[in-house]
Structure 1
């Protein structure tokens, strides 16, 4: 079995069997291509079905000098998943990564903004600019619904159920979920659709896409990052932020105001409650308030 064939088969497995998105699949297979390149550069001729733990360890050691422990752990996890697939399909008997030690890393807490910082960011949008109203609606939608950037740019007009008070979101692995939408966000989206978007002629295939660029096509992920990065510079915000920062802020602010983890898990589209629990650790003052309010000694 050749490496490229194995990687292609694995990508197909991730798409069909596991229902992962293209971005996630690309992430899973990126390090496999690096491993293949490492073998070529070192003139090591070995197939995916015959490679052993020592060779994989050499690759990890070379990578370790260039990346941080978190990235090392991600690479090992990705390789382990690939070889688990080969074992599952009976191409191999054992997984060569089983004896590899994953670097110990602390849990990375998500970056967040305060409520005032979010308001300042949105207030800095120039509404006299042709794309100003659209950009304000984008930030309001991410922050008020806790969307991932991929979910935002994929949002369609037919996904808006304003009378019922929900929007439909296609999340990771093409899984749909319904998120309640705030009255303020509904108002901004309605203004954008009725006053701005109706002035743009959508190109073929984008007739139902909610957020359009000037040429009538959907926005790219990079465009949304640029919009937020420019606003951060404009407000002199001394931290690297992106759409994910607004999503994290949405979760943290809801939790701080009393939202329960299960509801938050559903709105964020997390498969596991463990993923949602990270937001409990972002604000120690919130935990202090909980202790003071509910402990019997108080």
Structure 2
């Protein structure tokens, strides 16, 4: 089996068995492509996917480190390679997993900036509601913060998945997995204004009729637009932080946990498979930790 055949069969497994999105499959493919490039770089010592050893993988890690890749990028590539060889072992294409004992580089977890509630209010209040796009942009920020959505989940949000009467929305997350997320009153109000008072005046392109957020040409908004919108609002509001849509997602989770929300509930709302992923978003400040000790520890 050559690398091209192995990668194609791995892609089919990810798509059919694991139901991953095209973006996730592309990311895995890029990881394996790098290993294939390393294994075939020497024409006199060509290594097929089934012949790779632990020693080869260790040399590969040295190689990508010499390319000055960040530890986070190296860890992601290693994760893809481990998934690839687990598949190879499961399909009896190899007798043993060469990546089993391979250690990932140490990563220092760096938490993104978190916005305070006051800063989020400043972002929203600076939006010019007299402009045609103003109410829509307000609804975007309200929904991102109220529901903790990923930017792709926001841009793909459908009207048919809004259950505003019971204060829930249905979201399609990573791997096309659906989940129900509660939505707050402020976000519901902003959404209704956009949907019932302004979106009705947009000439909608065919196929986009069910999309919640549209641009002036009647097409769904791009991820890039949401990024640029937040950057512009931050400048206007005097928020001197490097913010993105993910900052609002992080703020959503942080504010919930600081308010006493159960971590499992936050995990469910964020759509995380593992609770350890959710823990990254629980950036608890010292005042909150101190108040927790004072409130619950018997000897505080």
C-alpha displacement at 1:82, in angstroms? 0.7
* Cross-structure match for 1:48: 49
Q: Structure 2 vs 1, CA of residues 134 and 30 (structure 1 numbering), >3 Å: closer, same or farther?
A: same
* Cross-structure match for 1:222: 224
* Cross-structure match for 1:8: 8
* Cross-structure match for 1:122: 124
Q: Structure 2 vs 1, CA of residues 40 and 232 (structure 1 numbering), >3 Å: closer, same or farther?
A: farther
Q: Could you tell me whether the CA contact under 8 Å between 2:40 and 2:47 is conserved in 1?
A: no
2: CA distance, partners of 1:4 / 1:116: 53
C-alpha displacement at 1:40, in angstroms? 4.3
C-alpha displacement at 1:223, in angstroms? 1.8
1:250-279 CA deviation, whole Å, 9 max, x = no partner? 111111122221221221112222222333
Greater shift, 239-248 or 67-76, is seen at 67-76
* Cross-structure match for 1:260: 262
* Cross-structure match for 1:188: 190
C-alpha displacement at 1:26, in angstroms? 1.9
Q: Structure 2 vs 1, CA of residues 62 and 201 (structure 1 numbering), >3 Å: closer, same or farther?
A: same
* Cross-structure match for 1:57: 58
Greater shift, 283-292 or 42-51, is seen at 42-51
* Cross-structure match for 1:31: 31
Paired residues for 1:156-167 under 5 Å: 156-167=158-169
Q: 1:274 aligns with which of 267, 276, 294?
A: 276
1:123-181 CA deviation, whole Å, 9 max, x = no partner? 22232333222111111101001111111111111111111121111122222211121
Q: Structure 2 vs 1, CA of residues 130 and 38 (structure 1 numbering), >3 Å: closer, same or farther?
A: farther
User: Which ranges in structure 2 are unaligned for 5 or more consecutive residues?
Assistant: none
Paired residues for 1:71-90 under 5 Å: 71-90=73-92
* Cross-structure match for 1:67: 69
Using the size of structure 1 for normalisation, the TM-score is 0.93
Q: 1:104 aligns with which of 103, 106, 111?
A: 106
Q: Structure 2 vs 1, CA of residues 42 and 130 (structure 1 numbering), >3 Å: closer, same or farther?
A: farther
2: CA distance, partners of 1:239 / 1:36: 40
2: CA distance, partners of 1:195 / 1:265: 34
Number of aligned residue pairs: give it: 298
* Cross-structure match for 2:297: 295
C-alpha displacement at 1:14, in angstroms? 1.4
